[in-house]
Chain A
Amino acid sequence: MTALTAPASSDADAGLRPVPWRRMAGIIWRQHRYALIGEVTVLGAVAVVLWLIGTSLHHDYAAALACQPAGSQACAETALTFGGSFAFLANGGILQPLPVLIGAFVGGPLLAREMETGTFRYAWTQGFGRRRWALAKLVTLAVAVTVPATAFSLELAWYYQPYFATRNVAFDLTEMTPFYPALFDLHGTTFAAWTLAAFAIGGLAGMLIRRVVPAIAATMAVYAGLAFAVGAFLREHYLAPLVTTSSLNLPSSSWILSQWWTKGGAVVSPTAMNNVIDKTFTSLNPPEGSPGQKFPAYQSILRYLTEHGYTYWTRYQPGSRYWPFQWIESGWLLALSLICVVAAVWLVRRRAA
């Protein structure tokens, strides 16, 4: 019997199309639905709490604004007491862990779980190439993580707006400027940028460490170090600080970095300065009394000293630089995220199956 040969059906193989990108959407959802649902739940719960507290906060603020005559000294004072039992939210420290928790728990297991369980050998040998697979996952989840974070940061901006509008003395030491380290990265665009960066670091850490729980822990550690370094050291140098001698007239929205005295061009040490201030205090003999009256005494001493050869310098960032700083920080965080994502994809490509 003669074997029949049939020609290969050319249309089946010619122009072999890769699997379309949108097929990954279903896979990403099925593999990461719990992480995404968890993220939305946590942000949602915190958002509800903030909304409840923020509503009464804005109510108080509106009552303070309704004070007449506006701008008078008496009305300036009534705008200042936003506190009560929820003052612990005021300095923003409590909300700091949110970006890193989201980024670590969504980004860490992303590649690490495939590597740990060995399912990458299956996932990377489907019709969808491994590079496209990694890219599709990283980019889609990056967007899925950043969008709720952006929405949340809008609510945070609404919540803190009365504090900033009144330059509230919400806790013991200092007025609340938007530059305050624990608040700066909760506002504007930086909250979403930090969440994205945490996610990208998580993805890269997962690919490097190839175990899920260590990847999550490593992401948290790297993020904590980075956030601390930026808040304590880097942020004040985004733009060269201004230096001024009219320290007594600085608007209170400025972020004061350091202050020092000089006399005749030479810096005076703080201990020596304290002696000078003490002598001036006794010689000027301003009225004693409640702590409220110590301040005008201090002001008049400073004025007296500046008139007598001492100069009070301040190095500061003006409040008008708030948005440029936000853009700078978001920009380099975005660049860092891109580098981490590209590095993760390159590692995926490079790894021997």
Chain B
Amino acid sequence: MTALTVPAAHHDNENPRPVPWRRMTGVIWRQHRYALLGVVALLGALSLYLTVAGTSMHHAYAAALACRPASSYGCQNQVIDFNTAYARTAQTVGVLLMAVPMLIGAFVGAPVLARELETGTFRYAWTQGFGRQRWTLAKLVPLAVMVTAAAGLFGLLFSWYYQPLFADGMSIPLDPKLFGVRGVAFAAWTLAAFATGALSGMLIRRVVPAIAVTLAVCVALSFAAGLYLRPHYMTPLTGRNLASAPASAWVLNGWWTRGGTTVSQAAMDQIETPLFRQAVTATVPKNVSSDDVKFYKGSASAQVQDYLVRHGYTHWISYQPASRFWPFQWIEGGWLLALSVLLIAATVWLVRRRAA
């Protein structure tokens, strides 16, 4: 019997096509659905709270604004009452919401690579028809886009929520406690936290330590940015006296000069303190208790300032005007975006480099 030979079917092996990118969407959903649903649940619950609290705050503010006559004592009192009732809670909420980008980044970003490495399933995942570099990109980029978009929407909701307290001047636009929760910065911080999580997952290769390290790094970064970087995004303006800056400006620093040279803080303290005491003794009526003295602080300070100015001292402040809010937001968003791209690129490079 003669063996029959059949020629090889060429078209099966020529130009093998890689698996198309869209096949990864199903994989991403199945592997990360709980993390993504958790993000939706968290942002959803917080959005519910902001909507409810924000609606009552907007109503109260509208009622305070509708008060007539507007310059009367009673109507001004209504605005003060509004602030007393709502401002402290709203400020605390704003500060606590800074934790949300870090939590999202840590819990969504860190397990992406860390779980595969911890359980060893990377040996399976990286040897499918979809190359390991493309696999990493296909996972990180869509997840990053999803969490950033969700965070962006939430940031808009927070801006709406807090709007009355900016409108009545309770908080300045560049308020450092709230800057990271507004505008573009909230979405940018979420993206940066996600990228940090991905890289730390790749470096640490264990899920829970990667989450912890991501949280720690994000906290440190946000403090560093708020305290040291943000005041210097653009060169601060310098002005004489507190009065030269509008009330909405973010005052960074104040110092005194005399005859062109700066007077040190310690020397100023020695001069100002006895002056201040004299002013308090002169201005405060005798029957005011020591608890209530602080209400006279403003007029006593003004007297001390007048005295110093008349005696050759000049007060300078450096500040950032409120009009720079959106430029600062774009600058912060920009460098956070660049950092995220860098971190994701580093992650992909590490994936490529790792011996299977």
Contact = CB atoms under 8 A, between A and B. Distances in A.
Interface of A: 34, 38, 42, 67, 71-78, 80, 85, 88, 91, 93-94, 96-97, 101, 105, 109, 167, 169, 172-174, 182, 212-214, 216-217, 220-221, 252, 270-271, 274-278, 281-282, 289-293, 295-296
B111 interface: yes
Contacts of B294: 76-77, 80, 169
B55 interface: no
A224 B209 CA distance: 22
Contacts of A101: 215
A197 B266 CA distance: 47
* List of 10 A-B pairs having minimum Cβ-Cβ separation, nearest first: A278-B74, A76-B290, A274-B74, A74-B277, A295-B295, A281-B73, A292-B296, A292-B299, A290-B299, A74-B280
A77 B87 contact: no
B299 A42 contact: no
Contact of B212 (A77, A85, A105, A274): A105
B75 A274 contact: yes
Contact of B288 (A217, A281, A296): A296
Given A169-B294, A292-B296, A78 B273 contact: yes
A88 B285 CA distance: 33
Interface of B: 34, 38, 42, 63, 67, 72-75, 77-78, 81, 83-84, 87-88, 92, 95-96, 99, 103, 107, 111, 170, 176-177, 207-209, 211-212, 215-216, 227, 273, 276-278, 280-281, 283-285, 288, 290-300, 302
A278 B73 contact: yes
A35 to B, nearest CB: 8
Given A71-B290, A172-B87, A173-B88, 12 more contacts: A34-B209, A73-B280, A74-B276, A76-B290, A77-B293, A77-B300, A78-B277, A182-B92, A292-B283, A292-B298, A292-B300, A295-B295
A85 B176 CA distance: 11
Contacts of A74: 276-278, 280-281
A76 B300 CA distance: 13
Nearest to A251: B291
Nearest to A280: B73
A271 B111 CA distance: 54
Nearest to B41: A221
Contacts of A80: 294, 297
B81 A270 contact: yes
A76 B293 contact: yes
A101 B297 CA distance: 41
A281 B302 CA distance: 26
A148 B291 CA distance: 37
A174 B88 contact: yes
A80 B73 CA distance: 28
A-side binding surface: helix, strand, loop or mixed? helix
Contacts of B34: 214
6 contacts: A72-B281, A77-B276, A213-B207, A214-B34, A277-B74, A291-B298
A212 B207 contact: yes
A276 B78 CA distance: 12
Contacts of A73: 280-281, 284, 288, 290, 293
Contacts of B276: 74, 77-78
A290 B284 CA distance: 12
A76 B215 CA distance: 42
B300 to A, nearest CB: 7
Nearest to A249: B289
B290 A105 contact: no
Contacts of B72: 278, 281
Nearest to B115: A213
Nearest to B67: A274
A74 B103 CA distance: 47
A23 B338 CA distance: 52
Contacts of B215: 101
B272 to A, nearest CB: 10
A275 B75 CA distance: 8
Contacts of A295: 292, 295
Contacts of B67: 271, 274
A106 to B, nearest CB: 11
A78 B273 CA distance: 8
A270 B283 CA distance: 33
A173 B171 CA distance: 12
A277 B76 CA distance: 11
B96 A77 contact: no
B107 A281 contact: no
A77 B277 CA distance: 8
A93 B100 CA distance: 14
A85 B78 contact: no
Nearest to B34: A214
A212 B296 contact: no
B92 A252 contact: no
A214 B288 CA distance: 57
Contact of A173 (B83, B285, B296, B300): B83
Contacts of B295: 291-292, 295
A167 B77 contact: no
Contacts of A97: 99
A105 to B, nearest CB: 6
B303 to A, nearest CB: 10
A341 to B, nearest CB: 21
Contact of A274 (B78, B208, B281, B291): B78
Contacts of B290: 71-73, 76
